[in-house]
A = this chain, B = another copy of it.
Amino acid sequence: MYAPRRRQEEGEDVTGDRTIHETEKAVRVKLGGTPVAYEQMAAVSNIYRAAAAVRQHFENSVLRGAELTWTSFVVLYVVWIWGEMETRYVAEEAGISKGTLTGVARTLMGRGLLERRGHPDDGRLVLLRLTEEGERTMNEVFPAFNAEEAFVTEGLTDAECETLADLLRKIVVRTEEKGDDRRQDLLNGAPPAPRRSGRKPRPAA
């Protein structure tokens, strides 16, 4: 009655070629003759798979040792690289909602790694920066993090890493530049459905 999970039963890797084709086949069965953009489907679903696999490896190795979640590391990294920054830009740069940032920042402040103050020119805005302890932590954690970046990409040459970064960058730029228009077109004049994810849209570029 239920589909056996082949990797478990035959030692096969579902991320390998065969199962990508099996996925296509299963989608074809599901959708009959409806045309499907398969290359695009494979690209996007592998972005998601790779992001999940990489995040899990980092959280169970270098970040676990430093007692940081992926999101808290990304927040520290953004503020470490770019210096003191308004919360809204930290959230945008880290790819998280302002609500998520509030929780993460509270935890990091509680651990003495991050501090906040009101913007000197506009007290409604909040600035975040690393404490000295936060700087020390990042100076230690970043090289270890980078070593794991090298580990997960070990199967790729430097040139392939550049190609990968370029192709991904095109997707990011396209989505950020054309996304608002696309979403308006999809609505076709209808008001947007109520938001479920608690995530704010990015401001228009």
Contact = CB atoms under 8 A, between A and B. Distances in A.
Given A164-B164, A171-B152, A83 B176 contact: no
A196 interface: yes
Given A40-B150, A61-B182, A80 B169 contact: no
A124 interface: no
B196 A57 contact: no
A201 B7 CA distance: 16
Interface residues of A, number: 113
Given A51-B48, A85-B3, A179-B57, A155 B174 contact: yes
A7 B138 CA distance: 25
Contacts of A137: none
A50 B39 CA distance: 17
**Chain A, interface SS category:** helix
Nearest to A143: B34
Given A42-B161, A46-B164, A53-B172, 20 more contacts: A1-B84, A3-B84, A5-B89, A13-B205, A16-B169, A30-B81, A31-B139, A31-B143, A40-B153, A41-B146, A43-B149, A43-B161, A46-B168, A46-B172, A60-B183, A60-B199, A65-B186, A67-B196, A68-B196, A155-B173
Interface of A: 1-3, 5, 7-8, 11, 13-17, 20, 23, 26-27, 30-31, 34, 36-37, 39-44, 46-57, 59-65, 67-70, 74, 80-86, 89, 93, 95-96, 120, 127, 129, 138-139, 142-143, 146-156, 158, 160-165, 167-179, 182-183, 186, 192-197, 199, 201-202, 205
Nearest 4 CB-CB pairs, A to B?
Answer: A52-B95, A2-B84, A3-B83, A51-B51
